[in-house]
């Protein structure tokens, strides 16, 4: 029976490969990874397309060659199928593309040159921009911003979401926003859009008077300038009214309307030349941005009369005011002139007012003052006529702090020790406010000391070393050994005195500084707490100063030097940047005023 009649498909070796019913082909199962899997998928594709399977020719008709050709056809069909499936599922690698779309309340979208886009939005609305990207693998998206100010920051970081959303947008958030998409294929795709934030602030009218002196006893002029200013974007347009009358350039010989050339578009000035009776009226300035973004016009009015005058004030307090900590202080500011009535405000130079401050009109009260509340306080009166009036007073809060001493051996000898028969100087220093009230008293073993030929008491020039007193002991004797005390006080009282004791004896010796052998180098890990140690000997023991020895960088507290009373430097949460050499050295404070002793400690910070 022939192969065709039997309906059998046989291989070259005669093995049964499948059975047909004369019309359909029984397809083999496609096993993943099997060489015939591609052919099976191709056969199914052919049947789905309605194609008939042609019976293979018998072996004696060159079946082997036909079989090989069919395998090639099946392979090509499979490759085409995989390619189409990959394209439909973005399985093919593709570089990124990007497009920016907007949603929300936009006033308008404009096209600039070079295909740049401008998105206009009203201040206080919600900005929402979406970055639509394509590409495979899925691109990573990053939003960034540039603006006119170098100090401007885009929410302190970049945004890595497809949608950029800013609620209650403010004017400083305008600028150019960039969407960047990258997936490692080709160059990153970048698109940008400029965001303009539109706003209109309330206009402000200020009045300035120019009074000319009599010239040759026949000419006298009094001219008033009304200036209207409103911050806005886009530029504002101004119009003036006198009562209900619209004022235009040229409509009244006594009125001139102009823009100063150096502030064009920012202000509009109404000049009333040589005031006439009809010029005393109610003037209104209308600021408009032509209703863009539905921003309504805004208006301000000013009543000009023959009593209009700039403000004047006076303070009902002394200057300066010296108080003790904890006292209540009240500053009173009153107006002595000005039409319309001026408003009064208090400000503090370089700093804000203390949180506990109580304001009531021109009266400022600080219930319990501290040293941090000291400074210059100013009362400002303003009625938009002429220049604001300003009066200031300085509040000084008494303070005594940082009592220190140092011992200076005989400066005419190189020896750092104090010796019998030589000179020795004891110096005391405090920080005093106010420095004019500072006084010192000296005692030896509790008894008052007075300046004499052998015990000379002086006070250093405040410009050289403020708050410093010295006791020079000439020709030191055994009887001079003892405890010397300097007492610092303020004449005004109310502040506790500072007493500093200095012991002079045969055991008083300059310092020495060493580092324990096991304390350098020190090895620690990031995030740990570490203590650097320097051992100091001597009597008295001075304050130790710590600093970086290998580079000019700040210490952990942000200063260039840190003080230690026991020679220990404690560092919390160390980082790798803190690795390096640290210097400990003696200071003159609370010790000898001699050449500093130094030692080095190495810190090694390892990764966590």
- Is the link from the previous residue into 196 a cis peptide, with omega within 30 of 0? no
Percent of the chain surpassing pLDDT 90: 54
Which CATH number is 94-200's, of 3.40.50.1000, 3.40.50.300, 3.40.50.12500, 2.60.40.10? 2.60.40.10
10 Å CB burial of residue 330 (0-12, 13-18, 19+) is: middle
Contacts of 99 (CB under 8 A, 6+ apart): 131, 132, 133, 191
Token couple for 18: 């499948």
CB 543 within 8 A of CB 589: yes
Torsion of CA 74, 79, 83, 85, to 10 degrees: 50
pLDDT of residue 17: 40
Residue burial 131-159, b: 16+ Cβ < 10 Å; e: rest = bebebbeebebbbbbebeeeeeebeeeeb
The fourth-level CATH superfamily of domain 204-303 is Immunoglobulins (2.60.40.10)
Task: Kindly list the distances between the CA atom of residue 195 and the CA atoms of 55, 178, 280, in Å, as whole numbers in the listed order.
Answer: 70, 11, 45
Percent of the chain surpassing pLDDT 70: 78
pLDDT at 215 > cutoff 60? no
Instruction: Give the three-state DSSP class for 560.
Output: coil
Distance CA 556, CA 202 (A): 48
Sign of CA dihedral 70, 74, 77, 79: negative
Residues 127-146: what's their mean pLDDT?
Answer: 91
pLDDT at 393 > cutoff 70? yes
pLDDT of residue 288: 94
Sign of CA dihedral 357, 318, 378, 228: positive
- Within a 13 Å sphere around the CA of 371, how many CA atoms are in the beta-carbon half? 9
The 8-class DSSP code of residue 67 comes to H
Between 70 and 56, the more confident residue is 70
Helix pair 63-88, 37-48: axis angle to 10 deg: 80
pLDDT of residue 303: 94
pLDDT of residue 474: 92
Between 589 and 150, the more confident residue is 589
What does the pLDDT look like over 101-114, one tens digit per residue? 887 666 765 544 44
Kind and range of the H or E element at 4? Answer: helix 3-6
pLDDT of residue 557: 85
Distance CA 437, CA 491 (A): 5
pLDDT band at 464 (very low <50, low <70, confident <90, very high): confident
Partners of 277 in beta bridges: none
CB 492 within 8 A of CB 320: no
pLDDT at 27 > cutoff 70? no
Q: Give me the CATH code for the 399-504 domain, please.
A: 2.60.40.10
Q: Where in the chain is the domain with CATH 2.60.40.10?
A: 94-200, 204-303, 310-396, 399-504, 509-606
Contacts of 102 (CB under 8 A, 6+ apart): 109, 119, 128, 129, 130, 193
pLDDT at 387 > cutoff 80? yes
What does the pLDDT look like over 359-378, one tens digit per residue? 998 999 999 999 999 999 99
pLDDT of residue 118: 86
pLDDT of residue 287: 95
Between 282 and 76, the more confident residue is 282
pLDDT of residue 420: 92
Residue in this structure with the two tokens 């001139």, named with its chain if needed: 256
Distance CA 221, CA 140 (A): 71
pLDDT at 8 > cutoff 50? no
pLDDT of residue 558: 85
pLDDT at 87 > cutoff 60? no
Largest distance between two CA atoms of the chain: 147
CB 380 within 8 A of CB 393: no
Among 33-37, 299-303, 310-314, 442-446, the least confident range: 33-37
CB 107 within 8 A of CB 140: no
Among 150-164, 329-343, 452-466, the least confident range: 150-164
Residues 527-546: what's their mean pLDDT?
Answer: 91
Fold of 310-396: Immunoglobulin-like (2.60.40)
Residues 429-446: what's their mean pLDDT?
Answer: 93
The rounded mean pLDDT for the chain is 82
Among 18-32, 306-320, 362-376, 410-424, the least confident range: 18-32
Sign of CA dihedral 298, 304, 309, 314: negative
pLDDT of residue 520: 85
Distance CA 141, CA 161 (A): 6
pLDDT of residue 40: 55
pLDDT of residue 25: 37
No. of helices (H) and no. of strands (E), the chain: 3, 45
pLDDT of residue 160: 72
CATH architecture of structural domain 509-606: Sandwich (2.60)
pLDDT at 241 > cutoff 60? yes
Other beta carbons within 10 angstroms of residue 575's beta carbon come to 11
Between 552 and 111, the more confident residue is 552
Among 56-65, 566-575, 579-588, the least confident range: 56-65
pLDDT of residue 266: 64
pLDDT of residue 156: 41
Instruction: Give the three-state DSSP class for 112.
Output: coil
pLDDT of residue 109: 54
Residues 205-225: what's their mean pLDDT?
Answer: 66
pLDDT of residue 31: 44
Sign of CA dihedral 13, 17, 20, 23: negative
pLDDT band at 265 (very low <50, low <70, confident <90, very high): low
Instruction: Check: pTM over 0.85? Answer yes or no.
Output: no
pLDDT at 21 > cutoff 70? no
pLDDT at 525 > cutoff 80? yes
CB 298 within 8 A of CB 283: no
pLDDT at 80 > cutoff 90? no
Task: Kindly list the distances between the CA atom of residue 550 and the CA atoms of 500, 603, 608, in Å, as whole numbers in the listed order.
Answer: 36, 11, 24
pLDDT of residue 504: 92
């Amino acid at each position: 029976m022939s192969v065709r009649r039997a309906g059998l498909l046989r291989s070259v070796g005669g093995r049964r490969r499948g059975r047909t019913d004369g019309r359909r082909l029984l397809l083999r199962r496609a096993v993943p990874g099997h060489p015939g899997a591609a052919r099976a998928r191709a056969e199914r594709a052919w049947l789905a397309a309605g194609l008939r399977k042609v019976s293979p020719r018998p072996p004696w008709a060159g079946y082997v060659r036909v079989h090989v050709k069919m395998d090639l056809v099946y392979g090509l069909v499979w490759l085409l199928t995989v390619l189409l499936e990959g394209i439909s599922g973005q399985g093919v690698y593709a570089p990124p593309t990007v497009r920016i779309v907007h949603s929300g309340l936009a006033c308008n979208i404009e096209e600039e040159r070079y295909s740049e886009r401008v998105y206009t939005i009203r201040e206080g609305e919600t900005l929402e921009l979406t970055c639509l990207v394509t590409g495979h693998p899925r691109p990573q998206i990053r939003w960034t911003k540039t603006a006119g100010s170098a100090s401007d920051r885009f929410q302190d970081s970049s945004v890595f979401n497809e949608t950029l959303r800013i609620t209650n947008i403010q004017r400083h958030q305008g600028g150019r926003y960039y969407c960047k998409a990258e997936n490692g294929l080709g160059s990153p795709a970048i698109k940008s859009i400029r965001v303009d934030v539109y706003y209109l602030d309330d206009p402000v009218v200020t009045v300035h008077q120019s009074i000319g002196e009599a010239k040759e006893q026949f000419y006298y002029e009094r001219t008033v300038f009304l200036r209207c200013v409103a911050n806005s974007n886009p530029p504002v347009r101004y119009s003036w009214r006198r009562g209900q009358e619209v004022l235009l350039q040229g409509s009244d010989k006594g009125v001139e309307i102009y823009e100063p050339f150096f502030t064009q578009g920012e202000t509009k000035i109404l000049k009333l030349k040589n005031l006439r009776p009809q010029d005393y009226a109610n003037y209104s300035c209308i600021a408009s941005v032509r209703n863009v973004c539905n921003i309504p016009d805004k208006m301000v009015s000013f009543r000009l009369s023959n009593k209009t005058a700039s403000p004047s004030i006076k303070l009902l307090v002394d200057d300066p005011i010296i108080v003790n900590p904890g006292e209540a202080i009240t500053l009173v500011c009153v107006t002595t002139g000005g039409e319309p009535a001026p408003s009064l405000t208090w400000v503090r130079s370089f700093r804000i007012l203390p949180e506990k401050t109580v304001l009531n009109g021109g009266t400022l009260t600080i219930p319990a003052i501290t040293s941090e509340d000291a400074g210059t306080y100013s009362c400002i009166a303003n009625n938009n006529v002429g220049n604001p009036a300003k009066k200031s007073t300085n509040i000084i809060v008494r303070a005594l702090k940082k009592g220190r001493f140092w011992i200076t051996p005989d400066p005419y000898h190189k020896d750092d020790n104090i010796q019998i028969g030589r000179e020795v100087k004891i110096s005391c220093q405090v920080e005093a406010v106010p420095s004019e009230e500072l006084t010192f008293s000296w005692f030896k073993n509790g008894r008052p000391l007075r300046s004499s030929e052998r015990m000379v008491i002086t006070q250093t020039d405040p410009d050289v070393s403020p708050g410093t007193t010295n006791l020079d002991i000439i020709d030191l004797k055994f009887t001079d050994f003892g405890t010397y005390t300097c007492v610092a006080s303020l004449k005004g009282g109310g502040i506790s005195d500072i007493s500093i004791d200095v012991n002079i004896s045969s055991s008083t010796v300059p310092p020495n500084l060493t580092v324990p052998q096991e304390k350098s180098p020190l090895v620690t890990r990031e995030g740990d707490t570490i203590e650097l140690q320097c051992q100091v000997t001597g009597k008295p023991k001075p304050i130790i100063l710590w600093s970086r020895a290998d580079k000019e960088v700040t210490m952990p507290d942000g200063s260039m030097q840190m003080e230690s009373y026991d020679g220990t430097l404690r560092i919390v949460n160390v980082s790798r940047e803190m690795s390096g050499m640290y210097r400990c050295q003696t200071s003159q404070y609370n010790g000898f005023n001699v050449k500093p002793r130094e030692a080095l400690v190495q810190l090694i910070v390892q990764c966590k």
